[in-house]
Structure 1
């Protein structure tokens, strides 16, 4: 079962704190995308339940954007929240991950967090990549929600590892 994007985002926010690597909203969105892409390739299943949308600066998960847009290009200093469906109370989006998935996400974060946001944007904007296909289609006509299909993301990673600019996990 896929995870809520805010849970995985909180894992990365916590990992940034542990490693001392800075994490901006733009960087987090791209790292979420790469984690989702590699998970699709490795496990043939989505990591994140929400869909990625093609926005000007690359793939975005709207629920993460809505909570973190206040940071603009500053480092993220708080965790994301969501409503607990059993209590109706807003609380931190808690993640409960097995050790294999934690290691997988740590590897993703440790690799991609070394790049600045501009480089991560470049990586997600590769020619003929899943973001570009949806973005260009949107320029030519309407694409409902500008959603990037998981299958397009998975095939991109499997085909060339994102044109060689991504590592194998």
Structure 2
């Protein structure tokens, strides 16, 4: 099953709050990237369907970034309720509702892998994770364009899967 990145992000934020492990938007972005890479390598399928952009500080899921950007570089202190806007074929709004996060909507085994990955990455500082993503050719080959604010295509699931499959040394969630 593929989830919305916001559901996975909310789960990570909720657990971070419960465990009293402060998490910033930047750190959340890197965790989501490595979790997605893990699922692509181990299952062949993405965990979430949202695109991952190649940004200045590494991989970013724009939908999640914009939801939590109000925290700046500070600690995210609550999960985000999502506003759902339903439109008809003409683009007119026909319904607006709030989607409340429920961790039980995420499979128990998936939650276990998420927590395992987050725990294994906890030994790395946020900027260590940024640096590690900057060392990867997936980002490095576009560095000049990214730094100069030129448009760069987002990561594809296939390129992430291929890169992490071909380079087991970058699967830092496996490092004990």
Calculate the TM-score normalised by the size of structure 2. Answer: 0.82
Which of structures 1 and 2 has the bigger CA Rg?
2
Whether the 8 Å CA contact 1:27–1:117 is kept in 2: the answer is yes
1:126 is matched with which residue: 123, 135, 138? 135
Give the aligned partner of residue 17 of structure 1: 17
Partner in structure 2 of residue 166 of structure 1? 172
Going from structure 1 to structure 2, the CA distance change for 1:140 and 1:149 (only over 3 Å counts) comes to: farther
- Pairing of 1:53-132 with structure 2 (within 5 A): 53-84=53-84, 88-95=96-103, 96-128=105-137, 130-132=138-140
Secondary structure of 2:48's counterpart equals: coil
Q: C-alpha displacement at 1:31, in angstroms?
A: 0.1
- Structure 1 distance, partners of 2:123, 2:22, is 9
Q: Is the 8 A contact 1:79 1:92 kept in 2?
A: no
In structure 2, distance between residues paired with 1:160 and 1:148:
17
Instruction: Tell me the CA shift for residue 139 of structure 1.
Output: 6.9
Say how many residue pairs are matched: 166
Distance, in Å, in 2 between the alignment partners of 1:115 and 1:102 is 21
SS of residue in 1 equivalent to 2:141: helix
Report the CA distance between 1:85 and its aligned residue.
Answer: 6.2
Partner of 2:46: 46
Q: Secondary structure at the match of 1:167?
A: helix
Matched, 1:150 2:157: yes
**Residues 31, 113 of structure 1: 8 Å contact kept:** no
Computed over aligned residues only, the root mean square deviation of the Cα atoms, in angstroms, reads 2.5
For 2:123 and 2:100, how far apart are their aligned partners in 1? 26
Cα drift, residue 138 of structure 1: 5.5
Change in 2 beyond 3 A, CA 1:68/1:140: closer
